Amino acid sequence: ARYRTGQGWYDARLTAYAPLQMDPSTAALHYAQSIFEGLKAYAQPDGSVATFRPTANAARFARGAKRLAMPPVPEDGFLAAVDALVDADRDWVPTGPDQTLYIRPYQLATEPFLGVRPANEYLFLVIASPAGAYFSRGVHPVSVYLSEDYIRAAPGGTGDVKCAGNYAASLLAQEQAIAAGCDQVVWLDALEKRYVEEMGGMNLFFVLGSGADAELVTPELTGTLLPGITRDSLITLAREKGHTVTERRFSVEEWRKGVADGTVTETFACGTAAVITPVGEVRARTGDFVIGDGTPGPLSMELRSSLLDIQHGRVPDTHGWLHRVG
């Protein structure tokens, strides 16, 4: 759909995937008024297709639009667009184990002009692509690199919305992590570079203790990290299993010491793409450390299967998280 100031949203339609035509002075290319979402559609055992918590994506998308001075896409328009695409692509929703259709809604400023101000014309698009299981050879713990040279988000910035600029600013640190032999970047807070915020595209959880008494800690939403929908779902599931979940600041020292004295037993990252990724190794200037024995922790794996079971319709959807398409 397109948007023009004074006219609102118009021209909603389903078209074949094709290149976009753009004016060289298209605002988004210069001033980065651009946001996106990521969600998935899952083939259900009864042959239907369902998306997972799309209203949460719609809400985050609208919040991002507001932060970037763009007109928000109303929730019903967002859901209708995602549904229409998934319905049209129904034959492309894979049915293999843990396979999905990845859906990417996005919005950008299309008005052609030079000069810094909010644009008066926007485009809202949704594209999709089949996605295989994230881990082709089983889940394995990843190594992470603490970014001490670069900061992802500062207070008052755009860290808690899914805007393109956040990712542009993170690419160099990601390159640095890979050069250091790590899989992912872990971002620290801007002011003290002491507290763990999140990973490149996932939120983090720390498991304290073990067994039924294990507690979970996840960095609180201070405005500089993305409120992940997987994070939110896992908080609910872990509490239902009887675990205490605390949202608070968690420092690198607490992480390192906890791993050394055995109080921090597992660390995992979570997001739409990989669901849960165990973290097995941390590289930092202040010293590297290893978490666990190279195999995924039990609570990480239990939460992972619980969430996947809901998403793939293998257990009843008691939270109303699945949205049937068509």
Is-contact 214 175, C-beta < 8 A?
A: no
- Distance from C-alpha of 196 to C-alpha of 254, rounded to nearest angstrom: 10
- Distance from C-alpha of 71 to C-alpha of 90, rounded to nearest angstrom: 30
Q: Which residue has the tokens 């994230």?
A: 134
Partnered with residue 281 across adjacent β-strands are 143, 290
- Distance from C-alpha of 188 to C-alpha of 228, rounded to nearest angstrom: 17
Could you tell me which of 72, 92, 59, 281 has the C-alpha nearest to residue 186? 281
Count, in order, helices (H) and strands (E) of the chain: 8, 17
Tell me how far, at minimum, the Cβ of 159 lies from ligand PMP, in Å: 8
Tell me how far, at minimum, the Cβ of 153 lies from ligand PMP, in Å: 9
Q: Which two tokens stand for residue 155?
A: 């207070």
Is-contact 171 162, C-beta < 8 A?
A: no
Closer residue to ligand PMP in complex, CB, 23/220: 220
Tell me how far, at minimum, the Cβ of 91 lies from ligand PMP, in Å: 25
Closer residue to ligand PMP in complex, CB, 112/223: 223
Tell me how far, at minimum, the Cβ of 86 lies from ligand PMP, in Å: 17
- Distance from C-alpha of 39 to C-alpha of 56, rounded to nearest angstrom: 10
Closer residue to ligand PMP in complex, CB, 228/297: 228
Tell me how far, at minimum, the Cβ of 272 lies from ligand PMP, in Å: 3
Tell me how far, at minimum, the Cβ of 75 lies from ligand PMP, in Å: 16
Tell me how far, at minimum, the Cβ of 12 lies from ligand PMP, in Å: 25
Closer residue to ligand PMP in complex, CB, 9/102: 102
Cα end-to-end span (Å), the chain = 20
Could you tell me which of 263, 34, 311 has the C-alpha nearest to residue 163? 34
- Distance from C-alpha of 82 to C-alpha of 105, rounded to nearest angstrom: 8
Could you tell me which of 33, 40, 44, 32 has the C-alpha nearest to residue 57? 40
Closer residue to ligand PMP in complex, CB, 108/269: 269
Q: What are phi and psi of 29, to 5 degrees?
A: -70, -25
Closer residue to ligand PMP in complex, CB, 230/265: 230
- Distance from C-alpha of 186 to C-alpha of 144, rounded to nearest angstrom: 6
Closer residue to ligand PMP in complex, CB, 27/101: 101
Which residues of this protein are in contact with ligand PMP, per CB under 6 A?
38, 162, 198, 201-203, 226, 228-231, 271-272
Tell me how far, at minimum, the Cβ of 261 lies from ligand PMP, in Å: 29
Which stretch of DSSP H or E encloses residue 308? helix 298-311
Closer residue to ligand PMP in complex, CB, 26/166: 166
Tell me how far, at minimum, the Cβ of 204 lies from ligand PMP, in Å: 9
Closer residue to ligand PMP in complex, CB, 204/208: 204
